[in-house]
Amino acid sequence: MTLAHGGEIRIGEWCYVGEGTRIWSAGSIEIGNRVLISHSVNVFDNLSHPLDAAARHQQIRQIFKRGHPIDISLDENPVKICDDAWIGAGAMVLRGVTVGEGGIVAAGSVVTKDVLPYSIVAGNPAEFVRKLPSNAR
């Protein structure tokens, strides 16, 4: 879903996006080739709402009355999910994150920082678990 004020989502070849997954772009989300995104994953390249309470209230009132605002800044920061990555069920990938080539995000994890290529992260916030052999393709 691209938000009303912009956003671009690019999905490579031979990807799978599971049921109930939401990809929320206000800036740029790039998904490489052969990426597996499991069920009920959320990917955000933005904050989704202003941090300031009054601005947040104003935004939600506008959404209720007229739809998503066209003139709003949600501190967008691009997300990149590289080739051969796997995002486990129920995970969240937050703005500014790159999931490296062959990286694996465990189910239910909240990814707040980059995932190294050919590594596994897990938890909330997601932390490095172990390295994978680069020939694990």
Which sequence positions are flagged as catalytic?
49
Tokens of 126: 């997601």
